[in-house]
Amino acid sequence: MAENLRTVNYNEPSPISLVTDGITWSNMTFEDYSWYDNDEATYKPEYGALYNWYAVNTGNLCPTGWHVPTDSQWKILEIYLGMTIGDADKLGWRGSPVNVGGKLKEAGTNHWADPNTLATNETNFNGLPAGIRDYAFGVFQDINTATYWWSSTAIEPDSAWYRSLGFNSEEVGRNGLGKTNGLSVRCLKSSIETDFLTFSHPELVSGSLVIDNVNHTITAEVNYGADLSTLAPTIGISTGATISPLSDVAQDFTSLVTYTVTAEDGSATQNWTVTVTVNDGLVAYYPFSGDATDASGNSNNGTLGDLTDPATSPALTTDRFGNTNSAYGFDGVDDYIIISDNDDMHFKNQDFTTAIWFYYQGQDGELFGTGNMGGCAEFRNFIENEKFKVTLASESSCLYDDYPTSDSLTYNSWYFSTVRREGNKFSYYLNGDLIADFILDTSALVDHNDGFRIGYSGDGYYKGIIDDISIYNRALSVTEIQALYQKNGWDINNINEFSLAEQTGAAEIDTTAHTINIEVPYGTDLSALVPVFTLSAGASATISTVAQISGNTANDYSLAVTYTITAPDGSTTQDWLITVSFAPNNATDILTFSLSEQINPAIIDAVNHTVDIEVAYGTVVNSLTATFTLSPGAIADIGIVTQESGITVNDFSSTVHYEIIAEDGITPQGWDVMVAIEKDNEAPIFSNLDLSTLYESATVNLNLVAWVTDNFDLASVSFNYRHSNASEFSNNVISSLDAGYTVSITESDITDVGMEYFFYAEDASGNTTSTDTVQIVIQYNAENGPVIPDLGEGGEAKDWRMFSIPFVLDNKNVSTLFEASLGTYDPSKWRIFHYKNDTERFVEYKNGLSVVERGKGYWFNSVQRVTIPMSPGKAPGNTKDNLATLSLAAGWNQVGNPYTFDVSWADVISYNGITNEVESNLRVFANGTSLTNSVVLKAFGGAYLKANQAITLEVPLIANSGGRIQDTHGFNEGWLLNMNLEVGVFSNMVSGLGMHPDAKFSNDRYDQIRVPRFEKYIDASFEHNEYFMPNFSRDIVPDQENYVWELTVSTNVDDYNRIISWDKPEIDENKKLTLLDKANGNVVDMLITTKYSYAEDNDRKFKVIYGDRDYLLEQLGENKIQLGNNYPNPFTNATTIPFSVYGVGDEFKVLVKIYSVNGSLIKTLLNTMMPSGIYSIKWDGKDNAGKPQLGLFIYSLEVETSGVIKTFRKKMIRQ
């Protein structure tokens, strides 16, 4: 078409979707079109429509008989206009040297923008600048400056090929573009042709292709060896047409293949039959059936002699089968046949095979060869001195390489000569049997150009008969050569194949000597072997008069056996001599192996080919002589040295590799011989040990000594040691001195935990022994012992500290340890306590406490700073097999760390395998004032521990450096509210409440018991009188819909507000959690507020209410509307006023005001409608004008509900 398409319907017909909206256009993946700028009236007549590629891909956009051109068809147009094939395949702008784009554009600037470069429109293509609709937001662009046409060829799922022209270019653009873009379309007339144009394949024989356009057939030949069953030809057909099966797809051409070609417009189809045959490589064949014509069809016809001299022409005669006029007789004087030069028969650079039948009559002369008369011949077959001979000539010097037969020819006999070349390997055969193989440098061969000559070439004329001559341009296989020899039944009394089930290789069949040699494995029984054989067609075999049946008749082959082969005529016979012999033995075994020094028979492993042998202890193995026997006929080598049994000396200090070569001389097997020396089974002996268990502190060093002896060779002695809390021993190899094996250690080697050690010895045979493991600990005297760290000082209630002593003291009396530094016990100056049990509770020095013991904790306070040494004594002497223990009574225990390092309480519980026997948390006092949970028992520290029963625990020697943590007892379900109680400097962080599905109403692992009170305290108590320890500090109950906790917060600290703080728990969003101060009715929403304080009160009772709104109203009772006590009070900066409003109805009128004591309004804090709830509001001490106020004030709450106003008032002080 010479204009752009502007149809709005497909050719079925059906309408094409018109899209005007830009966003819709950019998202379309279906067929649609638009007019430029959505202005049909302006742009349709000249520029046509803009289509997306999905409309192109329907195949129905163009009128019937037309189509959108493919990318290849666009290229055809471009190449026709002068573009090169290489440029046509490129991307981007192409075709500038030959103005391809200018030839397609309308000339002038009537439509195109200036300069409309080189536009001539000489093709009348009338390319107009129709612009494009971009896929991005459907934008229209490039009108008057560029035009774009779709091809029908896709590139990938989202793009296709297009062509473009520009106002400032004489080139044609080729690129891929997204399928959602709107481009112009040109249509191309579809072809109705269904022709087969080309048929090609790399194996196709040149000149063999015949395309018959009348009968719609194709015939072709492929090279010999090509596989017809999987041939994939490349096929060219009429433009736009399609073919089935497809081009370049493998088909089976062993029979006819039919292809169907469908015209481009789909209006016509044509079946084509293809016949492919294999070219067997025969380039010339001369049967001499009346003349010298080439019967191969290649027209390499022969000429009889010199046409001007009839005497030089050979005469027709009888062939080898007795057929008249079917062979040529040569007179040995001047007869010959010449074949003109042909490239198919140049042998210098290609494989070939020549085959010729000749009848020898006793005269030397040329049978067949290349080259001119008397010049260098590339290749010759001739007879010389009664022997058949093959000659190949060197190009540079005419020097010949001659390869004659070893045996003389028999007069008046037919022979079949075959010569083949395969690469640089040449072979020739007589009567189908290989005569010789030879390798030549083929680059030096003569390249003839004078054709072939039969019956004569430089060395004389041939006298005799020549029958069939065949020339191939490939190397025939041996099987093919033998088939030619036997063609037409010539070979009538041969044994063609002969085999035995027992044979080791193919039989050697000599068709000239009529012998067969075959080998069987060494030792095979030859007395009754059954051969399988094939004979010439129709022939039979006998031994003497016994008929031989292949695969059935058994014979004794201990001696050579003669088979008589009778031809089909029943009279022609040939004797064949069959010899069966043993193949050389291929066994490679070591049958026996011994050494005179051995103590046990050798172990011979015939599977892994190893020999293990043990000799007496002390044997010198680097010079031993072995006695051995091998498989019959085998020999043994070590390296290049052949071994003689009982004679050859070898070094057996390491593995010796024997190479056993079988009798056949080609089968090797490696054997490894390992000689081991008898082991010394006696271990070394330790004696005169000087092994200490104590180290005097401040000693320079301590020597540990051991003496070691061995019956043979002592290999090493090591000192093995570890600190008593380590898991593995380290070792050092030590050397002997005159004083024995000595190790010198210092105090830093031992450390406070002690050191375990032992000596270890090993001899050369691997026997080992060791001393007992000994523990050594540091002994401290009164002058250099360690002191108790971090003892309390100051004498105040906040200065109490809990301590423990991990050392083993010579004297544990309190009087000895403390009075030496502090003087006689005076409770006004220093005090020491220990919590003994829940009955006797705290015992004090001079009142039930007299000694300080490991594993127990003690309270201590002193007015002045003191230093208390822990000596004389020694460091803990515990090991992993002798652990320290804690003896616990049921109830509370005050325990101490028995070691000098931090101990993980989780490790203690895990090591003892307990679950609920003791609590998983320790209670410790941080800085003596803050009670908290901990999972670490600090070095030199103490803690409270609750046991549910009397029990003794072992404390593992595992150091831990972890700090205190707040334990949640595995609250991965339910919820927990941790409470922190504070009064002055004292705090308690071990209180709380909550719910858990596995909890009980009485004591369980989620609850905690109140710690024994000591000196100053603050704690919370949930009463559980059903339990033997009724005061819980944490109360966890099973999951409930509604629940109330009753608790009492107690303290004996005066002069400070009491503060309760908590973490907000995660509970059901429909539930309330409320704190009710039973003393003043204050109500606190614990999900909004996290702190509550109140004035001095040593025992304050509270309720914590959990549940829904109705349950909360029920529990609050008269406290439904309540004004709470402000806190803090008195205050300086700001104070918080709590209040609650609950009742009938959803909202209340609420006013909170501040008055002076004389009734003047100071500040209105709140005046609004509020729903039921618990609230608080802050006052910063300023009046309505923002002026700070001091003194005594009245604060009030006014609540209007059901038409009734309720008023509550309380006092506060700002100072």
Exposed / middle / buried, residue 994 (Cβ in 10 Å: 0-12, 13-18, 19+): buried
Q: Give residue 1061's identity as a one-letter amino acid code.
A: S
First to last CA, the chain: 103
Q: What is the pLDDT, as a whole number, of residue 303?
A: 92
CA 975 from chain centre, in angstroms, equals 45
CB atoms within 10 A of CB 984: 18
Q: What is the pLDDT, as a whole number, of residue 976?
A: 94
Q: Are 994 and 973 spatial neighbours (Cβ–Cβ below 8 Å)?
A: no
Q: What is the pLDDT, as a whole number, of residue 946?
A: 92
CB contact burial 637-646 (16+ within 10 A = b; e otherwise) = eeeeeebeee
* Residue at 789 is within a domain: no
Strands 146-156 and 159-166: antiparallel
Domain that holds residue 536: 495-582
Write the DSSP string, 1175-1191: EEEEE-SB-TTS-B--E
Q: What is the pLDDT, as a whole number, of residue 971?
A: 66
Beta bridge partners of 1050: 1019, 1099
Q: Give residue 464's identity as a one-letter amino acid code.
A: G
Q: What is the pLDDT, as a whole number, of residue 396?
A: 52
Q: What stretches of 801-950 adopt beta strand conformation (E)?
A: 801-803, 808-809, 830-837, 841-845, 848-849, 858-862, 873-874, 884-888, 891-896, 903-904, 922-926, 930-934, 936-937, 942-947
- CA–CA distances in Å: residue 858 to residues 389, 608, 853, 921: 122, 74, 10, 19
Place of tokens 């306590």: 833
Predicted TM-score (pTM) above 0.75: no
pLDDT > 60? residue 1062: yes
* 578 lies in the same domain as 430: no
* 69 lies in the same domain as 155: yes
Which residues have C-beta within 8 Å of that of residue 973, sequence separation ≥ 6? Answer: 996, 997, 998
CB atoms within 10 A of CB 37: 13
- Start-end of H helices in 891-973: 905-912
Nearest Cα to 1136, choosing from 1058, 1060, 1195, 1079?
1195
Dist. CA 931–CA 943, nearest whole Å = 10
Q: Are 150 and 51 spatial neighbours (Cβ–Cβ below 8 Å)?
A: yes
Q: What's the average model confidence in pLDDT over 538-567? A: 92
Domain boundary among 155, 171, 189: 189
pLDDT > 90? residue 690: no
* 503 lies in the same domain as 475: no
pLDDT band at 1146 (very low <50, low <70, confident <90, very high): low
pLDDT > 60? residue 963: no
Q: What is the pLDDT, as a whole number, of residue 245?
A: 94
* Residue at 956 is within a domain: yes
pLDDT tens string 424-435: 898 989 888 888
* 938 lies in the same domain as 880: yes
Q: Are 876 and 870 spatial neighbours (Cβ–Cβ below 8 Å)?
A: no
Dist. CA 179–CA 159, nearest whole Å = 5
* 39 lies in the same domain as 185: yes
* 444 lies in the same domain as 508: no
pLDDT band at 853 (very low <50, low <70, confident <90, very high): very high
Q: What's the average model confidence in pLDDT over 255-282? A: 89
Write the DSSP string, 26-43: HH--S-EEE-GGG-HHHH
Q: Are 1033 and 980 spatial neighbours (Cβ–Cβ below 8 Å)?
A: no
C-alpha atoms less than 13 angstroms from C-alpha of 180 in its C-beta half-sphere = 16
Dist. CA 788–CA 428, nearest whole Å = 111
Three-state DSSP at 627 gives: strand
Dist. CA 888–CA 896, nearest whole Å = 12
- Window from 69-73, 537-541, 557-561 with minimum mean pLDDT: 537-541
* Residue at 466 is within a domain: yes
* 67 lies in the same domain as 115: yes
Residue 196 tokens, joined: 């087969």
Q: What is the pLDDT, as a whole number, of residue 721?
A: 86
* 946 lies in the same domain as 801: yes
pLDDT band at 489 (very low <50, low <70, confident <90, very high): low
* Residue at 1115 is within a domain: no
Domain boundary among 455, 489, 523: 489
Say if residue 13 is preceded by a cis peptide, omega within 30 of 0.
Answer: yes
pLDDT band at 915 (very low <50, low <70, confident <90, very high): confident
Nearest Cα to 54, choosing from 19, 88, 78, 22?
19
CATH number, domain with residue 1211: 2.60.40.4070
pLDDT > 60? residue 374: no
pLDDT > 60? residue 150: yes
Q: Are 208 and 279 spatial neighbours (Cβ–Cβ below 8 Å)?
A: yes
Q: What is the pLDDT, as a whole number, of residue 449?
A: 67
* 605 lies in the same domain as 698: no
Q: Give residue 603's identity as a one-letter amino acid code.
A: I
pLDDT band at 569 (very low <50, low <70, confident <90, very high): low
Three-state DSSP at 523 gives: coil
Which residues have C-beta within 8 Å of that of residue 41, sequence separation ≥ 6? Answer: none
* Residue at 1014 is within a domain: no
Q: What is the pLDDT, as a whole number, of residue 1014?
A: 87
pLDDT > 90? residue 316: yes
* Residue at 661 is within a domain: yes
pLDDT band at 958 (very low <50, low <70, confident <90, very high): confident
pLDDT band at 491 (very low <50, low <70, confident <90, very high): low
- Taking all residues of the chain, what is their mean pLDDT, rounded to a whole number? 88
Q: What is the pLDDT, as a whole number, of residue 415?
A: 87
pLDDT band at 964 (very low <50, low <70, confident <90, very high): very low
CATH number, domain with residue 534: 2.60.40.2340
* 169 lies in the same domain as 313: no
* 130 lies in the same domain as 170: yes
pLDDT-above-90 percentage for the chain? 51
Domain boundary among 443, 461, 489: 489
Q: Are 973 and 916 spatial neighbours (Cβ–Cβ below 8 Å)?
A: no
pLDDT > 70? residue 968: no
Dist. CA 53–CA 59, nearest whole Å = 11
Q: Are 284 and 300 spatial neighbours (Cβ–Cβ below 8 Å)?
A: yes
CATH number, domain with residue 342: 2.60.120.200
What are the backbone angles phi and psi of residue 485, rounded to the nearest 5°?
Answer: -60, -40
Q: What's the average model confidence in pLDDT over 412-433? A: 87
Positive or negative, the CA dihedral 369, 372, 374, 375 is negative
pLDDT tens string 1149-1190: 899 999 998 889 999 999 999 888 888 899 999 999 999 999
pLDDT tens string 203-249: 898 888 999 988 999 999 888 888 999 999 999 998 888 999 999 99
Q: How many structural domains compose the chain? A: 8
Q: What's the average model confidence in pLDDT over 671-693? A: 85
43 vs 319, which has greater pLDDT?
43
Nearest Cα to 382, choosing from 420, 415, 346?
415
Q: What is the pLDDT, as a whole number, of residue 840?
A: 87
Q: What is the pLDDT, as a whole number, of residue 892?
A: 93
Dist. CA 828–CA 863, nearest whole Å = 8
* 578 lies in the same domain as 641: no
Three-state DSSP at 96 gives: helix
Strands 641-642 and 635-638: antiparallel
Q: Give residue 772's identity as a one-letter amino acid code.
A: D
pLDDT > 80? residue 722: yes
Strands 1204-1214 and 1191-1201: antiparallel
Dist. CA 853–CA 862, nearest whole Å = 20
- Start-end of H helices in 300-439: none
Q: What stretches of 124-216 adopt beta strand conformation (E)?
A: 130-133, 140-143, 146-156, 159-166, 172-178, 188-189, 196-200, 210-212
* Residue at 906 is within a domain: yes
* Residue at 1212 is within a domain: yes
